[in-house]
Structure 1
Amino acid sequence: MIIKNLHMKNFKSHKDTRIEFDTGISIIIGGNGAGKSSILEAVSFALFKQHTSKKIQQLITIGQKRMSVAIQFSAHGRTYRVLRERTKTSSKAIMSIKEGERFQSLVSGDKQVTLEVQNILEMDGDLFLNAVYVRQGEISDLIEKTSSEKKQMVGRLLGIDSLETAWKNIKIILDKYNGQKLRLEGKLESFEDANVELDSKKEEETQFNIKIKDLNRDIEGKIIDTNLIREKMEILDKRSLEFGKNQTLLNSKEHFREQLEKTKKDLNWQLTEITGKEEEMSKLKPRLKKLNVLKSLEENIKELKNLNKDKKRLDAILTDIKRFKTILNENEVYYNDYSLLNTDISSLQYAKDQFEGSRVLSEQYTTRKSKIKVKMKKSLEKVKTVLETSNQILNTQFDSVEELENYLTTFKPQLEAKIQTTSEEIHDIQKELSNLQVKNQDLEKPIGELEQVKDLCPICKSAITPQKRDELIEDYQSDIEVNILRSKDLKEQLGDIEAQKGNLELQQSKIQSINLGILREYLKSVKDDAKEVENIDSNLKDLQDKITILEGIEKDIRKKKSQIENMKGKYENYIAAKGSLESLGNIEEHTSNLNEINTSLSGLKKKVSSLMEIAGDSVEDLPEEISYLEEMDKRYQHLQGEVSQKDALLKRQKENEMQIQETLEAVKEISQIIEDLNYNEKSHERVKKDWELKNEELTQLTGKKHMLIGQMDQLSLSIKELKSKIIEFQKYENELKNLKDFLKLLNFIRHIYGKDGVQKDLRNISRPLIEEKTRELFEKFNFEYSDIQLDDDYDVTIYGPTGKSSLDMISGGEKIAVAIALRLGITQVLSRGSLELIMLDEPTIHLDAYRRQELIDLLKKMSIIPQMIIVTHDADLEDAADNILRIEKEEGTSFLAES
């Protein structure tokens, strides 16, 4: 498998990162937390949906709703592409295959895509990670760890730890089923007791059946006796019901007859009353004829008074109209003059309004002009002050802002260039000092190791003489002293250059305080203010002409207002009289109305005189006489209404007589029916008591039977439960037998997964394969070793020119070579020999500087693996890279900064 490219969107800290991978060694480099390891995790997620987060939702960038990872890879000569997308609630997966220049969909869905990848790569996700992915520290662990730790590590890579985990987990399952076995055995202990109890319950059920049969016989006899009495009682009940119904009907008829007799008396009384009221009406009728004459007389008298009142009002209005017309004639000339003066004043006031603002505007312009002159003076003083300060800073004598600006335009870039040059010199010296310090530290380590040994080199473990050791120590110390002298010279140079840079930066900071922008603003402000003063003077000249016109208009207004004040009284008299005339109305209309009223008064007086002759003496107290006659009329109308009911009362009287006769006949008929029934209430009560006694005895027997049936039902339920329990016990027996067989099988499987089972077989099978693949790598790496052997604990023994050696007997560089060959040999075994890709995560971690350099040198020579991807923060690994992918992180977002 060769990875071609990877595209991550909102995956962890990668918002939108696309990486193109080439064959050879690709280095993914960046600081801690930059998002390097997330790239390897994205590969695992895209291929097998495997990740290290607790929840898959945590793979989505914080604040985003959707993430996706797309990977393109080649295997077995074909190119494939896998896309996986994920939201917080749903997922999507598509796998495509390249046909020509386009990709065609192959499968979709998470499970289907994962299965297809496994089929193509011939390994699942765990095997892929163990084979291809070299975790942090694995290289150093193969060198430094103890035998048991190395054995555990190799076991994890081969999947043996999964077998060990399975062996432990089967123990948990065994404990669970053994507990279940004990519970089943406890339940089966009560099996015999249940059979004995079942036989007892069946005997009890037989006795209950005998008792219920005897009760049924007694109940049948009681039912016959009870039915005979009940038939007799039903006949008496029917007679009692008929007797009661007729007795109630008889009482009702008697009561109805009494009510009819009362109604008869009441009707006779009402007819007597109506006869008296008819006599009273005949007396009232003649006296009511005079009422209409008196009412007519009263209305005409009232109308006569109203007409006299209207005549008086119209006479007063006509008098006022004549008076107000005289006032109008006398004051009309003053009204006209007053109106003309008012019109003139309004015209002058309008003209004044047109010029009124000129005076205020003139005052505002004058104030504004004074303020601008003060501002101009201050701006010029500030320009002078800033120019003097700038001359002091620069040690110059410029008289104008233009000269100062031209000077700074040239001087500033020159100063910045000098500062940049000194900064670069300082950086170079500091870098060289740091390198010298690292070199001395690297030299001090072998000196310390050489001082502690006598006849064996601590680095290559070869024999060494004391003289050779002293020479080596002296050479190392000589190199250190040379480096120290060089560092001293560099520090002196650094001090001089830093002082020079400090002076330049001080000068630069002073120049930065010179603000040419402020000077330009001040000069522009003075220029703008001078132009505004010129405009104000022009406006003031125009305003003065308008003020002169305004003063003439104000003088005319005062003169005309004095004239109008002298004639104000006459004008107001005219207005008041005119208003009054308008409110009094038309004089012709009033005169016409007065003539009509005089005519009506003449006719009305004649009519009143005629009615008074008819009324006679009643005219003296007309209202009281009318009121008396009206009350008499009301009484007559009331009597007339009551008398109108006479015919209806006579008809009701006749009907009442007929109802009385019918009721008497009905009473006689019902009394005969009651006599024919011959009903005896005491005899009926005796029969009812006999029936209640027999019914109570029957109820007791029936209740006893129901109680026995209930007890028997309860007994049947217990028998049923016991039978079910016995059947369940039989199931427990079968279940216990099956469980014992299953426990035997589990113990057998656990033995197979144990250390002496498949684990041992897998180690025995894999060990020679690993030795073979590692031996092949020795040849490809051109190692001087001819063979390698692993014992049961995966301790390494190698064979070379000097014979048999352990890892502790070879140099640090050789250890690294053996470790990397062994790890790749394990990878070859896991991948069945088809190793095209390997990914290393921080391979130099836990390695000292010497061994780290050895690993880098070894990686440079490796060309047996088509594609190697290394994640690291170690910049030294860049020397071994064919491709460098630099990952950076800003504001929480990782991105590819360089490739």
Structure 2
Amino acid sequence: MIIKRIYMENLFSHRKTEISFDRGLTAIVGPNGAGKSSIIEAIFLALFDSGSQMSHEILRTGRSKRGIVRIGANGALIILEFEVGGKLYRVRREYDADGGSLLHTLSEVIGDSERVLARGVSDVTKYISKILGAEDPRIFTSTIFSRQDMLSQILEMPPSERKSKILSLLGLKDLEEARDLARETANKAERILGELSSYEANLKRLREALVKDREERQRLASVLEAEVRKVSELETRRDEIASRLGVLERILEISREIETLERAERDVKDLENEIREVDTRLGLLKSVGLDLEAVRKLSTAYRSSYECIKREEQLRKKIKFYEESIDRIRLEIYSESIRRDLEDLGIDPGLHPDGILAKLEGLIDVMARRLGEIRGLLDMYRKLYEIKPEGNKCPFCGRDLDLDTLSHISEKHKLEIDRLEDEEKRVRSSIEKAKAARSRIETGLRELKNHLEKLEESLRELEEVEKCANNGREICVSLANKLRNIGYQRSLDAECQELLEGIEGEVRRLIERREVLEKRLRDARSLYDSSKLDSLRREIEEIIKSNQWLRENTSYSALKASLERERDKIQGEIEALRTRIGVIRGNIEMLDKSIREREQEIASIEEKIRKKPSIENALKILRVLEKKILGGEGLIAQMLTQMVIKALEEEVNRSLETFSREFTVEIESDFNINIKTGSRGTLSINSLSGGERTMLAIAFRIALAKILLGRLPSIMILDEPTQNLDVENKSRLFDMIKEIAGSLDQVIVVTHDEEIIEKADKIIRVAIENGVSRVYT
């Protein structure tokens, strides 16, 4: 990857800044606060903007992009061009005044044209990560791209955090997901085994039920004989019951009248309470201005605005269609075939379409005149060729000529005719090509003008419709607030029209309910008669005195029902006994059917249970994968950790050897880093000087990049790598950076130290003037 160019507009302290980058070591130099680091942040933001998921490794403001736009500006723009694998890409990101995302595109630049590859914040970032060969942007910000104060971050982490970060970059999450999948599958297998256990219990129950069915079938055969003896005993009891039922009928009739009068008394009280509750609810709705008339007015107003909301959606779809059509037409006007035809005709395809049409018109006119001249000459030479000489005399001047001269003149005319016919074909072909190109461009321009007019018309209409639609939205917000204020219990997430209709329906139902309750209250009051109630109670007392058997019973309905059931039962048994044999036979047939079904069900369960051993074996394997092989602490993760430690240690020490450092590193299994020296033995990182720590951080980042990307990186960006270093260590660090630049395609360093100037291949100076960053190359 090579950074080629960046353009920043209203970004941080930059108003309009454009910088071109070359291969080799580029130094961005200037005093603190001049806006140097803003250039690096702009590069990171253009490559790795992930919307709300931004990290401090990419942008100083982290997730919030509010501070990236220059104060007082309406928005910001970044255009970054970079090269990967011989292809040039251009990413464009636009932001509003608050740092919110507007237009984001990624294109491949092919000559003077662009081919759009992705649109939208996340899609552009994903496509760039794919081009760079790593889907996680943290791979780059943790290795070859370093923001200010983050160069040594990975060295300063506790070993546990360092281990977690490196393994997460290597895709440890995939092992966790695989373990979760194994656990989920094992749990499913356990559920199946549980179901099989329930099948086993069910199998036992079915077998027991089968035995009982067979025993029941045998029992029914002996029941029939005993039933005949019951008939005479039952008839005597039936007649005794009939006389008592007559007395109970009168008592119950009186009790029903008493119950009706008492119910009417209760109904009056209940209806009065219910009317008060309805009045309370209607009053609550009315207190926030939601009486029936007000709700109907709101519904009418919202229905009018609702049409505007629908029209607004339709207009936005039309506008999108026209904009896409305009882009398509413009691409068609400048299509490759038209460009080739124009180049064949000697016309620059980069001219404005009107200029191209003018050129085509002039060319067609010139070629048409030339075609007329050619046809005139052809006509003349054909006539000359057809003239036959008389004897040896020239047919034009009459002089005597020899045969060779006459033959030469005739042959010359024939050659000129052939040449003119060839030229006529070429000119006619060029005219047709020019006319075809003119027709296609004119058609495209007419269609483009038509779509532009329709787009403008739709935009004007959208502006008017939005005002109407906003009125409807205000109605919805006001309605929701009113309903919350009165503790409305129904969901407020429904469509506004649906909510209005629901409120209107509720108010209407409450009003209708009150009218119904008023009518019922009048009816209940008309049924209540206290004097009649006293008379009926006295009559019941007289009946009980004359029938001693009633005094032991408190529930006449239950007694009557009991006697009726007994009477009906007796009558039913008498009638049933005559057909009992048929019923018993039917029961036997049902038992036979039940026996067959249970036998089939038992066979089916036994077939399922036979699969249990294979499922148990699979469960054991899945649990081994879950607990020992997969996951962050599993065997695979442990092997991966050892491999990474070994590779990282080798690559870091190789880089330290390249930089002529007199120490090496040893990385322990918990990712603790030890410093190995010949004379002083094993030391901690804290024993290194500031310069040595910075050099080790760079070596660590290069090594980690090679492991994560599978190759030596082509670029490195360092923001203020000399912070907290003395003069000697700064010089040594710049020497090392120069060495790195010799092995990488591009190194970009941001620094306020002037010592780097003599080592850099290109110097970019940044200064702050009247609060605006200025760039000088």
Query: Same fold judged by TM-score > 0.5?
Result: no
User: Which protein has the larger Cα radius of gyration, Structure 1 or Structure 2?
Assistant: 1
Of Structure 1 and Structure 2, the greater helix share is in 1
- TM-score by structure 1 length? 0.34
Q: Does 1 or 2 have the higher relative contact order (CA < 8 Å, sep 6+)?
A: 1
- TM-score by structure 2 length? 0.38
